[in-house]
């Protein structure tokens, strides 16, 4: 079923899905096959080889396109595989303007892999989109941003970036992993490509690693599909099925992530031992107005520092939480706590991190959907 007029909650359950034609199974089967029989060369049912197409993946791609209000989606074996595919649109000599607060793995693939192929990356503060203008030259091809950013929850004005991208004929890529399509649809704000680590909120249960790209333009989709098929970083059908199952509850999970997030952000802000709390739902967040304009809620991701601003104090909290498990990743139903400086963002040089506000004592929370009182009690006994 694919009805563009359906609201998100309906699309999450039904978009792209129809009962299995052979059995009527309501749930999309896992087509665990590597190839498809042809009646004669070229005479097939739309599927030739599973690196190129798989019916479980097709259904997921159609569902993802629908929930991001896009025309096309492509799935990958991880969020990084999706990032890799987009970067392969570039050629030696090209330049990219990138938000300076972003997932450490994205920083790593740009600086340690693609920089070797002669592509130049400018990491800049995008809190004011106009900063982008100073870095555009004849070689610039792409603007790359996350919003909210990982881990400092900065907000970037997608529509303002899109206007600059359009003016200079650049591609605007928005990593929408933190917000998920429940809170924000970057294509509606003028982005060209939306990227997801579906490992996070889309999958939602910390049981799959998966990535996706969603776009409107057919020519761009064709180029990315060519890269997907040529380079082969495709997800298996079981992983596609897990994401397909995950997205059916995205709206109810996200609603609770937002409610719990607000309670915990306010609790932390009033705690005498807590220093700064980074959460885009605070009215005094520097870009709260932009967040209100482009998002439908503020989510369950946040970071904070301790007034006793040193590594040992932070480590002490990380060791003591019980419901908040110390782990990489985010966006699952269970609450996670992390230390960006040594974990998710360990690949960013220290001076670079500190310059951008990612201090050694920063603690990141992915607030899950447990009872908020229990989560607060856990933080209370850990922070002391």
Q: Which residues bind ligand PLP (CB under 6 A)?
A: 78-80, 103, 105-106, 146, 150, 175, 177-178, 197, 199, 209, 211
Please identify, using beta-carbon distances, which residue of 80 and 306 lies nearer to ligand PLP. 80
Minimum CB distance to ligand PLP smaller for 1 or for 89: 89
Residue 38: phi and psi, rounded to 5, are -110, 140
To the query of whether residue 267 is one of the catalytic residues in this protein, the response is: no
**Is residue 11 annotated as a catalytic residue, yes or no?**
no
Helices assigned H by DSSP within the chain: 8-14, 55-67, 79-87, 104-108, 158-167, 180-183, 218-231, 237-247, 250-269, 288-294, 311-320, 350-355, 372-383
Between CA 187 and CA 165 the distance in angstroms is 13
Tokens representing 378 are: 């856990």
Closest by CA position to 250, among listed 127, 369, 335, 136: 369
Residue with tokens 């129809």: 18
Cβ distance to ligand PLP smaller for residue 102 or 313: 102
* Measured distance CA(332)–CA(202) in Å, rounded: 9
Query: Which residue, 208 or 372, has its beta carbon nearer to ligand PLP?
Result: 208
Question: Percentage helix, strand, coil, to 5, in the chain?
Answer: 40, 15, 45
CB of 203 to ligand PLP, least distance (A): 9
Contact (CB, 8 A) for 182 and 251? yes
Q: What is the DSSP secondary structure assignment for residue 112, as one 8-state letter? A: I
User: Nearer to ligand PLP by C-beta: 178 or 182?
Assistant: 178
Active-site annotation holder among 20, 36, 47, 51: 51
Please, what is the minimum distance in Å from the beta carbon of residue 262 to ligand PLP?
Answer: 21
Catalytic residue at 49?
Answer: no
Contact of 251 with 8, CB cutoff 8 Å? yes
Toward ligand PLP, which CB reaches closer, 161 or 306?
A: 161
Active site residue 166: no
The single residue of 31, 103, 201, 278 carrying the catalytic annotation is 103
Catalytic-role residue among 101, 157, 175, 378 = 175
Cβ(220)–Cβ(193) below 8 Å:
yes
Distance CA(5)–CA(8), nearest Å, equals 9
CB of 367 to ligand PLP, least distance (A): 15
CA dist 361 and 228 (Å) reads 39
User: CB of 178: closest distance to ligand PLP in angstroms?
Assistant: 6
Q: Using CB positions, name the residue nearest to ligand PLP.
A: 79
Look up residue 19 and give its two tokens. Answer: 């009962």
Residue at token pair 């050694």: 360
Of 109 and 159, nearer to ligand PLP (C-beta) is 109
CB of residue 101 to ligand PLP, shortest distance in Å: 11
CB of 199 to ligand PLP, least distance (A): 4
Nearest approach in angstroms of CB 375 to ligand PLP is 21
Q: Kindly name the residue from 11, 57, 200, 253 that is annotated as catalytic.
A: 200
The set of long-range contacts for 113-121, using a CB threshold of 8 Å and a minimum separation of 24, is: 113/84, 113/87, 114/87, 114/90, 117/92, 118/92, 118/93, 119/87, 119/90, 119/91, 119/92, 119/93, 119/94, 119/95, 120/94, 120/95, 120/96, 121/95, 121/96
**Structure tokens that stand for 106 in this block:** 């994205």
The residues assigned a catalytic role are 51, 103, 175, 200
């Amino acid at each position: 079923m694919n009805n563009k007029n359906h609201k998100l909650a309906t699309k999450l359950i039904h978009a792209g899905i129809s009962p299995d034609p052979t059995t009527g199974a309501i749930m999309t089967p896992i087509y665990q096959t590597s190839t498809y029989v042809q009646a004669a060369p070229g005479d097939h049912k739309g599927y030739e080889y599973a690196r190129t197409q798989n019916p479980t993946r097709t259904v997921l791609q159609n569902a993802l396109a629908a929930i991001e209000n896009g025309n096309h989606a492509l799935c990958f074996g991880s969020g990084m595989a999706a990032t890799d595919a987009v970067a392969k649109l570039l050629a030696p000599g090209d330049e990219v303007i990138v938000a300076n607060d972003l997932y450490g793995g994205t920083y790593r693939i740009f600086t340690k892999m693609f920089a070797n192929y002669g592509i130049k990356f400018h990491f800049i503060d995008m809190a004011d989109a106009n900063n982008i203008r100073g870095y555009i030259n004849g070689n610039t091809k792409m603007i790359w941003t996350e919003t909210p950013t990982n881990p400092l929850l900065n907000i970037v004005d997608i529509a303002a970036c899109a206007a600059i991208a359009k003016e200079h004929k650049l591609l605007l890529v928005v990593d929408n992993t933190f917000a998920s399509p429940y809170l924000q649809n970057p294509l509606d704000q003028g982005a060209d490509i939306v990227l997801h680590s579906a490992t996070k909120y889309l999958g939602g249960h910390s049981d799959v690693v998966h990535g996706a790209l969603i776009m409107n333009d057919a020519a761009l989709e064709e180029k990315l599909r060519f890269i997907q098929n040529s380079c082969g970083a495709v997800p298996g059908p079981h992983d596609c099925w897990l994401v397909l199952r995950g997205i059916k509850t995205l709206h109810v999970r996200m609603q609770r992530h937002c409610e719990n997030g607000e309670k915990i952000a306010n609790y932390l802000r009033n705690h005498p031992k807590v220093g700064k709390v980074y959460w885009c739902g605070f009215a005094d967040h520097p870009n709260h107005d932009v967040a209100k304009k482009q998002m439908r809620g503020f989510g369950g991701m946040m970071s904070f520092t301790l007034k006793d601003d040193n590594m040992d104090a932070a480590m002490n909290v990380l060791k003591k939480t019980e419901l908040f498990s110390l782990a990489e990743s985010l966006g699952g139903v269970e609450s996670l706590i992390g230390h960006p400086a040594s974990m998710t963002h360990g690949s960013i040089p220290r001076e670079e991190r500190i310059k951008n506000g990612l201090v050694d004592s920063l603690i990141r929370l992915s607030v899950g959907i447990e009872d908020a009182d229990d989560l607060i009690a856990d933080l209370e006994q850990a922070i002391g």
